Amino acid sequence: MPRLPTPVTLTDRGEKRGVRKRPRLLPDQDGTAPDVPPGRHAPRRRIRQETATAWAFIAPSVLVILGLSVVPVIWSLLLSFQADDLVTPSRWVGLDNYRALAQDPHFDEAVRNTVVYTALYVPLSIGLGLMLALALNRRIRLVGLYRTLIFVPFVISAAAQGVLFSFILDPEFGAANAVLNEFGISRQGFFTDPGQALLALLAISLWSGTGFCVVVLLAALQDVPASLIEAARLDGAGRLQLLRHVVFPTLTPVLTFLLLWQTITSLQVFDLVYVTTKGGPLGSTTVIVYFIWEQAFKNFTAGYGAAAAYALALALLILAVVPRAARALRDRARPDQHIEGAAR
């Protein structure tokens, strides 16, 4: 049988130019459009599936945050403008709660006690923490044990600390007065003396809170470049000059963080006061947070307590915003100084 000639086909223009022609999809027998090729929208479908999976994992946490933080914040803000005793229906009083705070001598006393506590606790905790961190940054025997012993009090809860020191500082049967008696010192009232109660709380807070400062500062000291220290020593810098011109400048961001952190912590002290003194004697240890709790859950004036809570929140917001704003202004002024210096 003779061989048939091969049919001659014309080359498509797209193929000549190296462009691959996309196949045309014909409709099905029932007239419906055919399915899109599986690889065409696969990336979009995969992104939607990953997004849905991510939200499925995040949703429980979002609900918890909304239910335990956002909703109570909004509710307490509205409560601060109402007279509410948590039992009977509340009524709107506007800014009366805030006006009453400005004229309340007990709130003034709570603010004064909190300011005194903060003014003493913040510099002492950071100063002691820096001294201990410098001492523990050396290569000495059992340095790991010393670091652990200093940090352990920070791990103990404030409630446990309050119970422990309530026994130690008991004016009648406490171990502290027994030791003072051995040195010929008369018995002290500690938590029962209005002049000593706040200082006793301060001493307990320093015993427990200094360990956090030590750990943070010790980590910062170990990050100081060794080359800077060696260069300063070769230039003849002494120990004090080395601390002043090399170590302290590198610790400035960490010290700023500790200053803000310890201030916020001291303004929020509550559990230690609640376990030990209950705000007494004679209101000498009533701090702002304990005043808020007392007004809301002891005197059943929830609206008044919410107003005091938002006064504290405003103070904390100012403490958080002012350093950042000052840093932004300082950073904005530095380029101008560099430009002026270059022009000169």
Residue-wise pLDDT tens digits, 44-95? 888 888 888 989 999 998 888 888 888 888 888 999 999 988 888 888 998 9
The predicted structure's pLDDT at residue 116: 95
Q: What's the pTM? A: 0.76
At residue 82, φ and ψ (nearest 5 deg) are -130, 160
The predicted structure's pLDDT at residue 89: 85
The predicted structure's pLDDT at residue 337: 55
For residues 80 and 114, what is the distance between their CA atoms, to the nearest angstrom? 21
Angle, nearest 10°, between helix axes 197-222 and 158-168? 130
Poorest-pLDDT segment among 14-18, 222-226, 291-295: 14-18
Mark 287-321 as b/e (b = at least 16 C-beta within 10 Å). bbbbbbbbbbeeeebbbbbbbbbbbbeebeeeeee
Find where tokens 């403008």 sit.
Answer: 81
Indicate the pLDDT class of residue 342, thresholds 50, 70 and 90. very low
What is the number of other CB atoms lying within 10 angstroms of the CB of residue 169? Answer: 22
ω into 281 cis (within 30 of 0): yes
Summarize pLDDT for 229-267 with one digit per residue, the tens.
Answer: 778 888 777 778 788 778 888 888 899 899 989 998 999
For residues 39 and 153, what is the distance between their CA atoms, to the nearest angstrom? 61
The predicted structure's pLDDT at residue 241: 79
Residue 298 predicted with pLDDT over 70: yes
Q: What percent of the chain has pLDDT over 70?
A: 85
Residue 20 predicted with pLDDT over 90: no
For residues 81 and 93, what is the distance between their CA atoms, to the nearest angstrom? 6
Query: What are the beta bridge partners of residue 83?
Result: 91
Q: Which domains does the chain have, with CATH numbers?
A: 105-324 (1.10.3720.10)
Indicate the pLDDT class of residue 16, thresholds 50, 70 and 90. very low
Mean pLDDT of the chain: 83
